[in-house]
A and B are shown apart, each in its own frame.
Chain A
Amino acid sequence: MLVEVVQTQTRDVLDVSGLVRRYGELTAVDGVSFHIRSGETYGLLGPNGAGKTTIISMVAGLIPAHGGTVRVAGRAMTPSKTEAKRIIGLVPQELAIYPDLTARENLKFFGRLQGLRGRELTRRTNEVLELIGLNDRAGDLTKKYSGGMKRRLNIGIGLLHRPTLLILDEPTVGVDPQSRNAILESVERLSVEGMAVLYTTHYMEEAERLCDRIAIIDEGRVQAEGTRDELITLTGGVDRINLRGGGSMSRAAEALRGLPAVQHVDNDGAGLILTVSDGPTALAGIVTGAGHAGMSVTSVEIVRPDLESVFLHLTGKALRD
């Protein structure tokens, strides 16, 4: 049987609205709403413990929500809705494979549960084995695999039935740089093929590289949502320029404060830190001005705003501990 692919021109692939989940007194997820369109890669960015995995668990129908709704391709998703589950593919954060079965046996088992049968099952199993580069070792018990190989299989199982929505929960945690890059590349490729992806991470670089839109999650709430550039404008879009050197720094600071692009100058004794509206354009004038005022500049650094700064700006906390 072919997996039913629900094309949604008018509807979103995923529509999450007002999601709430409590654990006793603690409200782990507090009114989270977002939606994902077909072919879009959507990131949930937040530190560990922000509630990302709880959101994903409700989206994938692992646990019931205490409030709000999840609709996958227009169908309500709850733990008992098997129809909605046909459309999604989940890659849990922790490994979820049988160590005492081979890669091929793992794939075939989960493929069957997803409704694949016969030749279709064999074909998809082979395709996925090819994709995750485990063709040579497909007949080995997975407990003999390296960590990276297990991770790849873990992801491959989620792709087997060509889900309309692929949910990846921190797929690169604890993965070596090489495997990590391979994982990111395959997510990009899937996105190009039109698969909608929900991607959680606490790595800013991954969210920036992969995601069309990003929701910044903290304390169970969406703190901000948008494309990378939209989020960055939230910080006011200012750059920071660090000038290092010697000489007459206080005179230089005075002089630079007079420049139109410079909003703020700070003298920390070892150099000057400037807040500038458009760093690259203003740079030449700043270096020249500092020199004229008697400062000998030895190094210059422009720091452009990133999601890290956005997170810091929104929550007052660093993304990573």
Chain B
Amino acid sequence: MPGLWTMVAKDLRQRIRDKSVFIFSLIVPLALMGVLSLVFGGLGEDTVDLQPATVVASADDADQLGAALLGAVDSLEIMDVTIKRVPAADVRHETQASGADLGIIIPEGFSNAVLSGQAASVQLVEGDNASLESGVLISVVQGVVDQFAAGTVTAAAGGLSGLPRQDLAALARHAAAGPSLLTLTEGQAAAEQLSLRGTLVAGQAGLFLMFTVGFGVLGLLAEREQGTLARLRSMPVTGAAVITAKACTGFILGVVATTVLLTAGSQLFGVSFGSPLVVAALILSVVTAATSLTFVVARLVRTAEQANVAQSILAVVLGIAGGAFFPVQGTGFAATLLDLNPIGAFNRGLGISAGGGNVGDVTGPVAVMLAFAAAGLLLARILPDRGAQA
């Protein structure tokens, strides 16, 4: 197409000269990545491994079941637990003051109460920061107490069934601590999702991509407002070349900005997105989808200002639905809709590639993005022109 690259070069020169593209495409998203990563930093680590935990506990050393309970907590395989013994009255204070994950108060005479079937309650004090580890520990204590309860109930049932009293303790022990019928073989799923920070970096890159590509096709509106579109039309270039040039400009800006954001983001926040080849395929696909959307916008609006608003609405709606600020979950139809969002597909693709996926593994998300691009182009052809290109 004659004149195409001349127009693209001119457009790029104008965009580079205008600081807005840098602000919208690089500075703002990077700043947001930084802030979000700071504020979300308190919400948990990016790892599945449980951190060592501290438990503040009070128990009578002579109490058999109490010791058994603490022993079970102390000897957990899944995490390192340090138990700090304090008098019962101090547990609550000490738990909060020392920043421990959990406080356990085992009542006096616990064993006797349990064995004789009288009410007894293990009291737990949750740590201040409600950590993941607290949750695990609470569940562990619950499990142990469940076992004690099972023993008590079994002993009582044995008594009711007329078994001799001296056999009941053994019966209880057998019921509570006998070999479990159900055991677990545990595995971990292949990760096809980004870490928290990875989601933030990818999400912001996706969100602002919509703004960035908008600097391309929507430049048509600026041409019209400057009167230069009429002059271009009087020149030996086709209308298709003019529009293609705008799309190319948006595409180039989008690819550059997204690449810079992902690279800078992964360096600054220590995120890895996996194979550069896969990431490149994903970037090209998502930029194509975003660019096609700008054609639809260009059809719907009359002025550059309307275009900015429409572009912003699409950017935030698709961006937020794609998980730019927080992961959005849906079920049924909503989940399908979320899956069709190109920004969502981009993040999913990055998740797969971060988990070690290759180009073949991301065909799903890539197909979604390219289908979205095709649908956008088709829609732009069908929609009546409201002025931008007239």
Contacts and interface: CB of A to CB of B under 8 A. Distances in A.
A80 B231 contact: no
A113 B6 contact: yes
Interface stretch (A27-35, A104-112, A174-182, A280-288): A104-112
Interface string A53-80: 0000100111000000000000000011
Interface residue tally on B, bucketed by range = 20 to 34
Given A101-B14, A109-B6, A113-B3, A96 B236 contact: no
Contacts of B3: 112-113
Contact of B234 (A60, A98, A99): A60
A26 to B, nearest CB: 17
Interface string B90-105: 0000000000000000
Interface string B223-235: 0001110111111
A112 B231 CA distance: 13
B235 A96 contact: no
B324 to A, nearest CB: 30
A295 to B, nearest CB: 58
A229 interface: no
Given A100-B14, A100-B18, A101-B14, A92 B231 contact: yes
B246 to A, nearest CB: 14
Interface in A88-105: 88, 90, 92, 94-101, 105
A199 B6 CA distance: 30
B6 A114 contact: no
Nearest to A87: B236
B2 A98 contact: no
B235 A92 contact: no
Interface in B74-100: none
B6 A92 contact: no
Given A113-B3, A113-B7, A98 B235 contact: no
A94 B7 CA distance: 21
B238 A61 contact: no
B236 A105 contact: no
A114 B13 contact: no
Contact of B230 (A62, A105, A110, A114): A62
A99 B226 contact: yes
B17 interface: yes
Nearest to A88: B234
Contacts of B386: none
A253 B236 CA distance: 65
Contacts of A60: 233-234
Given A100-B14, A105-B13, A85 B227 contact: no
Nearest to A169: B230
Contacts of A99: 226
B238 A82 contact: yes
A57 to B, nearest CB: 8
B388 to A, nearest CB: 16
B378 interface: no
Nearest to B15: A100
Interface string B349-361: 0000000000000
B236 A90 contact: no
A153 to B, nearest CB: 12
B347 to A, nearest CB: 35
Contacts of A83: 236
Contacts of B239: 79-80
B325 to A, nearest CB: 33
Contacts of B231: 90, 92, 96, 110, 157
Contacts of A113: 3, 6-7, 232, 235-237
A77 B208 CA distance: 43
Nearest to A99: B226
Nearest to B233: A62
Contacts of B13: 101, 105
A100 B238 CA distance: 24
B174 interface: no
B234 A90 contact: yes
B381 interface: no
Contacts of A21: none
Nearest to B234: A90
Interface in B172-230: 226-228, 230
B14 A96 contact: no
A114 B236 contact: yes
A86 interface: yes
Contact of B2 (A79, A82, A90, A157): A82
Contacts of B227: 92, 94-97
A115 interface: yes
Interface in A125-150: none
Contacts of B14: 98, 100-101
Given A98-B228, A100-B17, A62 B234 contact: yes
Contacts of A101: 10, 13-14, 17
Contacts of B237: 82, 113
Contacts of A57: 230
Contacts of B236: 82-83, 85-86, 113-115
13 contacts: A57-B230, A61-B233, A62-B234, A85-B234, A90-B234, A97-B228, A98-B226, A100-B14, A105-B13, A110-B231, A112-B6, A113-B7, A113-B232
Given A83-B236, A88-B234, 13 more contacts: A57-B230, A82-B238, A85-B235, A92-B230, A92-B234, A98-B14, A100-B17, A101-B13, A109-B10, A110-B235, A112-B6, A113-B3, A167-B234
Q: Which 3 A-B pairs have the closest CB atoms?
A: A90-B234, A82-B236, A96-B227
